[in-house]
Structure 1
Amino acid sequence: MPKVLVFILVFFINFSKAELIRIFSASDLQYALKEISKAYEKEYPQDKVELVFGSSGKGAIQIKAGAPYHIFFSADMKYVEELYREGYIVTKPKPYAVGRIVVWVRKDSGLDPSDFPKVLFDQRVKRIAIANWEHAPYGRIAKQVLERYGVFEKLKSKLVLGENIAQTASYVYSGSADVGLIALSLALAPNMKEIGNFWAIPEDKHDLILQGYGITKAGEGYQSVKRFYQFVQTPQARKIFIKYGFVLPDESK
């Protein structure tokens, strides 16, 4: 068989193996996972990664309802463990990071985020953005932080709830809120760093934010899904995670 025909045959065989990888991810990963997906597609051009971002709680509900996501990245390991116990996740839950929560303000606000929680009572602060604690892990942690500092009830009327942590960040980024309690990964994004300042809340002021992922029942059997799942654990992907503040206990920032 002529070499040209062999090349064409191989090309079409590889093209026929191209698979779409559907991923539901917690919103705190919107910058890191987009970058990781681009790196993956560069290495495996036959595959296409489709990302959907939202709150971890709502993602878990959608998966239980039959949403055809192949991989689930949660900002709270408990959602992955729950789905695993109930058979919706087929791989043993694996952590990809311990998250951090920060206080974020615009530079032009004149506010000092490190003056926490006193800054929340500044007369210039009319609205404080946090994620909805009913289904967003970072919202639950933000509420817990305010409670442990003993200020939640005093500030309740100022709270503006985002559906997920990305929407919460957009509120304070746009100026719709004056202060935001958001994920470190979003605070480290170039657009957020350019116009804002942040202060990391001490980890002893809230529960551990252990984040995890797994392959769903819908993704079982797809080689592309397994490739991406494994790619997340490579040094190349870990480097991107660390860039956005996503570290595991044995890693350094």
Structure 2
Amino acid sequence: MATEPSDVRVAAAADLKFALDEAVDVFRAQHPNVKLQVTYGSSGNLYAQLVNHAPFDVFLSADVDYPHRLVREGLASKGDEFVYGVGRIVIWVPRSSSIDVEKLGMQSLLNPAARKIAIANPRHAPYGRAAEAAMKSAGVYEQVKDRLVLGDTVLQAGQFVESGNADIGIISRSHALAPSLRDKGKFWEVPLDAYPRRVQGGVILSWVQSRSAAEALRNFILGEEGRTILRRFGFDSLEE
């Protein structure tokens, strides 16, 4: 446990926002000497910043590939990598929508009412790549690609649908289960075999300011309390 006053600067994937915000509150209560600063963004954009030695101590990615790359590039040690959960994607619509997403599933995207479909940008957001893979797996991608509206993050994709700037979206299950959306919409979980498994991992960077504080955060996330919070927001454990 970190006892000296110290800062931990966290770069976190946007899909983690709701679960991590809650986890951070619990962690802070247990570690009052650790000052946590969390910045959310797309994993690809955060990775690009870290390659240029952005001032973060811990990176929580929406996949394991970006942490792997940082290790290969000598910016983190192999022993400082960890897996914290498995994410899932859902198709989400506002409760007022005429689209029966729970019945239609992936075919919801072909509904005439689905004029604009929000997903995260596949170029730098792992959840966007998962959405694209799922549409291709279902054979609907070519029919809907011209109707896609790309958010910088999966969080922004959800906000597009919530605000009415899109009619339907493929978002993270963690966002669909978050208090801000839980009662505002309905969703259908995309089958796991429709897209590459969303194993999500993190890493402590080589230029970490306070290793003991960063390790305390990692241990909390991987411990029972952290896992319980992540599970409540729709993140499976690796064994599930």
Same fold, TM-score > 0.5, yes or no: yes
Deviates more, 1:130-139 or 1:142-151: 142-151
Per the alignment, residue 102 of structure 1 pairs with: 90
Residue in structure 1 matching 2:68, options 81, 90, 95? 81
* Residue 104 of structure 2 corresponds to residue 119 of structure 1: no
Deviates more, 1:221-230 or 1:200-209: 221-230
Per the alignment, residue 181 of structure 2 pairs with: 192
Deviates more, 1:84-93 or 1:46-55: 84-93
Deviation at 1:93, TM superposition (A): 2.2
Residue in structure 2 matching 1:208, options 175, 197, 200? 197
Per the alignment, residue 226 of structure 1 pairs with: 215
Deviation at 1:86, TM superposition (A): 1.2
SS in 1 for 2:38: strand
Relative to the length of structure 2, the TM-score reads 0.95
Q: Which runs of 4+ in 1 moved over 3 A?
A: none
CA distance in 2 between partners of 1:202 and 1:222 (Å): 39
Per the alignment, residue 50 of structure 2 pairs with: 63
Identity %: 35
The one-letter code of the counterpart of 1:65 is N
How do residues 6-155 of structure 1 correspond to structure 2 at under 5 angstroms?
A: 17-90=4-77, 91-114=79-102, 115-155=104-144
Structure 2 gaps, min length 5? none
Q: How many residues align?
A: 236
How do residues 160-179 of structure 1 correspond to structure 2 at under 5 angstroms?
A: 160-179=149-168
Structure of larger gyration radius: 1
SS in 2 for 1:204: helix
SS in 2 for 1:25: strand
User: Is the 1:127–1:158 contact (alpha carbons within 8 Å) kept by the matching residues of 2?
Assistant: yes
User: Is the 1:56–1:135 contact (alpha carbons within 8 Å) kept by the matching residues of 2?
Assistant: yes
- C-alpha offsets along residues 174-199 of structure 1, whole Å, 9 cap, x if unaligned? 11111100000000001211110011
**Higher share in strand:** 2
CA distance in 2 between partners of 1:152 and 1:250 (Å): 31
